[in-house]
Chains A and B, each alone.
Chain A
Amino acid sequence: MKNPSVDTHLLPADSGTIGTEPLLAVDNLHVEFGTRAGVVRAVNGVSYALNAGETLAVLGESGSGKSVTAQAIMGILDMPPARIPKGEIRFRGTDLLQLSESQRSQIRGQQIAMIFQDALSALNPVFTVGWQIAEMFRVHKGMSKKASYAKAVELMDRVRIPAAKQRVNDYPHQFSGGMRQRIMIAMSIALDPDLLIADEPTTALDVTVQAQIMELLAELQRESNMGLILITHDLGVVADVADKIAVMYGGRIVENAPVHDIYRNAAHPYTKGLLDSIPRVDMKGQELYAIKGLPPNLLDMPTGCAFHPRCPFRQDNCVTDVPPLHEISGTRSSACHYWREVLDGTAG
């Protein structure tokens, strides 16, 4: 529910031709960290695009680079040690990486907002939740204390926190995990951002609460037509809300697909492994499938395809040749030399 009279967009309207240019386009992004042990290449050429009103789920295990990519979009990486040697992050056609720090902090929170995994540690323990939400209006909009607190109560209502008016002066530790995450959400949508990045928003929550939070996010997105990037390692979470999925492994995207295609059949052995390791009712009593081996060491990446040491379909050229992202259809791609075989089940 955008209010057209409030112009939150600081970028000129003609920057990038909105309509053809997606809301967000990450292009060949590389992020590395200089550490004492060497250079950690956390993100190695990630590209994805997102339109307004669309939900992209970025899937991958710890260390796959999914959060680092999000932090690069947000501009909250610690630089140094982080570096972005290559790549573009175009938001409404403007490359965010070319903007100054003050220009970026104008976009942060107002046009691109972020929700973090653990709301208890992500909220400041020494300020009331009302103060933390109201701060968005006070700092970005110059509102009075009273008006900004009224806005905070409004937002807490909108994310369905019971008795918002009574609870606005409570501290984060006085809320349950689910309620805290709702406060994070309220804070992030305060200024009607165009893009919301949710970094594992439900990982720290109970299963029942997870569903409620996902439902809330989906509803808020429908109302405001914002783009949503959902970072998760949980395939179950994304099925109902995502439009498309990007699967990351070892700092690369290994498969891009519309959500329904990917659940029908995977075009990359890693995606297939992930799908096979979801517990299913009809497999009750049988041993749960697990992808063998460990995630790659980012300091010492395997040669060729990063997944080859764990791949059940490995061939000789997987060890030597890095697979490019093969286009399968207009909306689907896979970084596997043998995607055809994986897709029709004849691999291995």
Chain B
Amino acid sequence: MGRYVVRRLLQAIPVLLGTTFLIFALVYALPGDPIQALAGDRAVDPVFRATMREMFHLDDPLIVQYGYYVQGIFTGDFGMTFRGLPVSTIFEGKFQVTLNLALMALVIEAIVGIGLGLIAALRRGKAADTAILAFTLLLVSVPTLVSGFVLQLLLGVQLKTSTGIDFFPVAGTSEGWRSYLLPGLVLAGTSIAYLTRLTRTSLMETLRADYVRTAIAKGMPRRRVLGRHALRNSLIPLVTYLGADLGTLMSGAVITETIFNLNGIGRQLFDSVYLSENSVVVGIVTVLVLIFIAANLIVDLLYAVLDPRIRYE
């Protein structure tokens, strides 16, 4: 087990290098001059431009620039922005916001998705099943922009004005975990749909398994057959999906963060691309890749806990 973790962490290094190089090259290839972007429409002093280009190694070949960047990363230095701030101070607090948001979305997704999926599987072919499937279709079809504003209006504003219940803040992070309820729900939307369908399929497949028939033949009560014998087996693919989805949720939070005015990494990424703050863009992607790798490693380890046939040596 320990050796497996070490091996996986070592494998993460080429993945990290590969992905960061890719994003580095993409940012490098972006049109426009980042130094000019600092000055807007005004002319830039040639001496200042030369100093800046020198300082940020902008005249070196791509691979050399990347070398400087990697060197920094391994010493924990994400570099400086063109505006003279260390990238790490820009990150401050923002990853926490996005992580909170993504985790809230993940929790909502797990509860609602698995719950609906279980109901659908157990009521296969009946009205509840059909309704849930139709609902998932709706979830995938409605874009975040629409669902975000509609939920803000319904749960955040109209619920408060009509009943006085003020439980769902519509913006900001001042209300602690409650601040993340609405944005989490909006962010989880599509994922809920996928997880519901995955749960339904997985449980339906497990219910057809021979060992479920054995459990019934053993005279086990229906609840035990479902809750112990079937569920444990059908959870395995769901955990995989949930783990991989954490990364997707974190990187997909741009629009949600904007709608709900959350000062997270998604908005920062968007702004930085806009302002050609290359070091920030690459930095954010680097951290996201790290989170993604960590989430997948945890999933793989959990896999062995759920399924004893899997052993890591």
Contacts and interface: CB of A to CB of B under 8 A. Distances in A.
Contacts, number: 70
Given A124-B233, A126-B233, A171 B219 contact: no
A21 to B, nearest CB: 23
A121 B232 CA distance: 15
Q: Is the interface of B mostly helix, strand, loop or mixed?
A: helix
Contacts of A116: 210, 213-214, 217
A301 to B, nearest CB: 27
B308 interface: yes
Interface residues of B, number: 21
Interface stretch (A135-143, A227-235, A324-332): A135-143
B209 A121 contact: yes
A113 B224 CA distance: 18
Contacts of A74: 217
A184 B214 CA distance: 9
Interface string B209-233: 1110111111111101000010011
B306 interface: yes
A122 B99 CA distance: 42
A177 to B, nearest CB: 14
Contact of A139 (B213, B224, B232, B307): B224
B309 interface: yes
A111 to B, nearest CB: 9
Given A122-B211, A125-B307, A126-B308, A109 B219 contact: yes
A165 interface: no
Contacts of B211: 121-125
A118 interface: yes
A132 to B, nearest CB: 8
Interface stretch (A100-108, A147-155, A271-279, A285-293): A100-108
Contact of B214 (A110, A124, A128): A124
Contacts of B232: 124, 126-127
Contact of B229 (A109, A113, A124, A140): A124
A61 B214 CA distance: 23
A126 B217 contact: no
B219 A110 contact: yes
Contact of B217 (A108, A125, A127): A108
Given A125-B308, A126-B233, A105 B210 contact: no
Nearest to B219: A109
Interface centre among A105, A106, A123, A124 (most CB of B within 10 A): A124
A6 B211 CA distance: 28
A76 B213 contact: yes
Contacts of A123: 211, 214
B233 A109 contact: no
B99 to A, nearest CB: 31
Given A125-B307, A171-B308, A135 B210 contact: no
Contacts of B222: 105
Contacts of B233: 124-126
A42 interface: no
Given A124-B233, A126-B232, A126-B307, A136 B210 contact: no
Contacts of B213: 76, 116, 122
Contact of A107 (B214, B216, B219): B219
B220 A139 contact: yes
Interface of A: 74, 76, 105-110, 113-114, 116, 118, 121-128, 135-136, 139-140, 171, 173, 184, 187
Interface of B: 209-211, 213-222, 224, 229, 232-233, 306-309
